[in-house]
Amino acid sequence: GQQLNQSPQSMFIQEGEDVSMNCTSSSIFNTWLWYKQDPGEGPVLLIALYKAGELTSNGRLTAQFGITRKDSFLNISASIPSDVGIYFCAGLNTGGFKTIFGAGTRLFVKA
Amino acid sequence: SQTIHQWPATLVQPVGSPLSLECTVEGTSNPNLYWYRQAAGRGLQLLFYSIGIDQISSEVPQNLSASRPQDRQFILSSKKLLLSDSGFYLCAWRRGENEKLFFGSGTQLSVL
């Protein structure tokens, strides 16, 4: 079945640093989604990408839908302590009922 | 606007006891509904999904079952819990194919 490889698995950074994480797949997706999960909470949608090459921002977050439709990245600029959490990428295709998730990137920010 | 409710937030159950977790969605009709499980510090494992009333697809053979008795209600059950059923259970919904998925707040289940 379809799988997403998300990297890095975890990141330890200093407050104020920029962060970059990515997701790759061996198959094509029509939509890429990025979620953030705080401890003990459900994941919250951050950014949705619908078109190859699309670059979308949400505050300090920027995500891109890869040209090949097999990858996506998420950047966080000027990280702050509340950015701590697990970030999941997800892909879906037209006609499919399942959203495919990456294993998550655990972000730790030191003040 | 649409909202998803999931309860309880926390549950501690003895091994061998039954389980019933409920999820409801408001503000939409005929949503696709999903149950995920997340082990501590791990990713999201899809357990069940439903595209309509009484239509349930199981992704992983296990000790759990799901039911959808009403359009916007999704229930996760077990007749006898195992220690390995412990985890964080998440309900989610979306409008239809190729749509964004929205999650509930989760239930932390501890089986002792």
B3-41: b or e for each residue (b if 16 or more CB lie within 10 Å)?
Answer: ebebeeeebebeeeeebebebbbeebeebbbbbbbbeee
pLDDT, tens digit, 9 for 90 and up, residues A55-90: 999 999 999 999 999 999 999 999 999 999 999 999
Does any CB of chain B come closer than 8 Å to the CB of residue A39?
Answer: no
Of all residues in chain A, the one with the smallest CA distance to B6 is: A42
Please report the pLDDT score of residue A94 as a whole number. 74
Tens of pLDDT, residue by residue over B1-53, are: 889 999 999 999 999 999 999 999 999 999 999 999 998 878 899 999 999 99
Q: Tens digits of per-residue pLDDT, B40-98?
A: 878 899 999 999 999 999 988 789 999 999 999 999 999 999 999 999 999 999 998 77
B contact set with A (CB within 8 A): 6, 32, 34, 41-44, 46, 49, 51, 57, 59, 88, 90, 92, 94, 97-98, 100-106, 108
Between B88, B97, B103, which is nearest A96 by CB? B97
Give the closest of B42, B46, B103 to A98, CB-based. B46
The contacts of residue A77 (CB under 8 Å, 6+ apart) are A18, A60, A61, A62
pLDDT given for residue A1 in this prediction: 66
pLDDT reported for residue B18: 97
CB contacts, 8 Å: A44 with chain B: 103
Q: Could you tell me which chain B residue has the CA closest to the CA of A33?
A: B100
A3 has pLDDT over 90: no
